[in-house]
Structure formats: C-alpha cells, structure tokens
Chain A
C-alpha cells in the first residue's frame, strides 16, 4: 500500500475517525507534538550508553505508549473508530514513578535550578522533556476546547506529566553516570 496519496496536498488531512480537518487543527497539533516527542526520544535512545539496558527497555515501552496516546488524540470521542483503540496500560504512570525513584537513588539531592545540557545524551533528554511539556500544554488545550471528559485523555495527561519528570531525572542520571556534574544556575 502507498505511504502517500497526495490527499493532504491542499492543507487538509484525515483524523483516524475520518473527519477532514486543516493541518493546523488542534488535534493535529496535539498528536503532531506527540510524534515529535517520540522522535526526540528516538534520538535520546540512539545516544544511550549500551550499558544502560534498563533505560532502553523503558524507552521501548514509552515509545509504544506514545503511539497508543496519539491514536486517542487523532480520534473524535463520539466516533465508532474509538472501538479500534486500546487503552494505555493501567500501571504506566505508576511504573514511571518507580523508575524515577530508582534513577533518583543514584543522584545527589537537588537544591538549586540546573542548566539543561552536559553530555549529548543528557542534553537530548532535556530537549525531550521540554517537548513533553509542550505535549501536555497541547493536550490540556484540546481537552478544554473539545470539552472532552474522556478518561483516556485524562490518563494520557497524567502519563505525560510523569514522563516529563522522568526525562528530567534521566538527564541528570545520564550526566552522573557519564561523569558530568550538574551545572547550577548562577543568579
């Protein structure tokens, strides 16, 4: 089957639920940002030291979960296409909390703001964190604009919030294991 059809050449595209919308539609913006986040996570993953197998496993799960989340954002809530979607696994946010706690154990307590950067892989993790925060902002905008009391979107919102925290801790952890200390903000 063909990847391209040209159906979007005039600036409209189809949601998963079939509606034609402009490419700047709030749903497209929302799942487009998730796509960007997933791509940045791919970049982080590509830089991960091979010794960090547990993090690679985290990333595989996270990147798959973002596909699940993207499908929800691409589907209007009253559509029968909803029946094709799967829910995020119930424990995803709790699982991330456990991973945040595990990575944090290796880190000194944080008492000041730190500058994003350090090792390339850590710097990419900071970029991923900021894209993840933008995904959260888009999602809250979508929920507000579409007046959706959707439990799935609420679960995705929690997940993105936790994922942002995970990526922050991950950046610090990676700098630490690669021998680069946090750079604090000098006022």
Chain B
C-alpha cells in the first residue's frame, strides 16, 4: 500500500546521470498539478517516499528532479534503476523556499543537490542574484553553465582535497560558509539557503553574528 501522501501519478520518461552518484529524473506532469519554483513534492514508489525539489519552472510540460543516489537510500536506489514507463506516486507541491521579490541584494547558497530550487527559480525568470554553490568536486557543480548565465555572479566553492588543478572563474577553494565569512561586506541582504542541516545551521549562525538585519529563507535536507 502506498503512503497517503500520494495524490498524483507520474510516469518516468527518462533518467540522465550528471555524475557517478547523481541523476536527473524526468517525469510526466499530471493534469491539475500546480507548483511554484522552489517547491518540492514527495515521490512515492513501492511503499517508499522521499521529498525532492522540482527542477522545472512552473510552466514546464515535464517535471524534472535532481536525485542523489544515497548509499542505503531505499527510494533513491529504486529510482536509480527504475525503467522508463514506471509509475510513481506524487504529493501536492509543498514548501516555502520560493522567491520573494526585493530591492535588497539576493544571495542563493546551496550545497550539492540543494541547488535544485535555484535552478527552478532561474528557469522561471529570476535574475540579479549571486549564487554560491558548494560541492566537493567540480562534477558536483550541477547546471553551472545555465546558472552562470542567469546569475549576476556565480561563485563555485569546492571543498574536496583533490581540486587543486581545477580552474573555474571565481572559484573559491573551501566551504561556502568560509567564503561568506571572509568575502561578504556588511549590508542588508536576502539569503536563500538550501542544503544539509549542518550548512543551514552554520550559515544561519554566521549571518546572525556578522550580518544583523539580513532576511533568511531556508530549506534543509538530510
């Protein structure tokens, strides 16, 4: 029996691997399904459910999801091997990490697959933001080219130990929190955070301490 979160049914159209552990799953968009850029859904298959942010903009014909295959992760392992044509359950769209127009400078900060809501926002036409994306290695900087084109400034942060040979414009070698601690001048900003609990916690404390008056919108995943 599927958990009660499943309201819609979607069919898997295809899967595209972006690196050795992360893939994009492309599904049909069910009739009547509405969402805002940055929202997420629960995907359900064979009794397993997990939440994934929609990569697509709200007017898209298909729904795209960025999924990391987690060791021991039941649903992500199923989805990594699922056949096109398979049917998944899907909840209504949830979450409040959606863009709120502002006159303040906007910073999007993501680690790993936490980039997904910002891909959706950029695809839906949001511009003028600074994007800071943290990953261990370069292949984890998903959608770098598209986001570089949409962002006012795109700052990749690579924290892996073997990235000394990597050359990218504006590359920072270290964690996103270290970058912001050393590089952000005082000011009133709007921050959107998406990533691990540790990143959200550390970033929030950092901003509280060094940048009183900022607004913070965040979504954490495990």
Contact = CB atoms under 8 A, between A and B. Distances in A.
B197 A6 contact: yes
A14 B212 contact: no
B100 A7 contact: no
Contacts of B190: 18
A7 B200 contact: yes
Contacts, number: 64
Interface stretch (A76-84, A97-105, A129-137): A76-84
A interface secondary structure, majority = loop
Contact of B216 (A1, A20, A79): A20
B98 A84 contact: yes
B221 A16 contact: no
B205 to A, nearest CB: 6
B95 A1 contact: yes
A186 interface: no
A20 B212 contact: yes
Contacts of B207: 20
Interface residues of A, number: 21
Given A2-B220, A10-B208, A14-B216, A80 B101 contact: yes
A81 B207 CA distance: 21
B104 to A, nearest CB: 10
B215 A7 contact: no
B212 A80 contact: no
A4 interface: yes
Given A18-B190, A20-B214, A2 B197 contact: yes
Contacts of B102: 80
B98 A5 contact: no
A93 B39 CA distance: 33
A95 interface: no
A141 interface: no
In the A-B complex, the 6 residue pairs with the smallest Cβ-Cβ separation, listed nearest first, are A18-B215, A7-B204, A6-B201, A2-B220, A5-B200, A80-B100
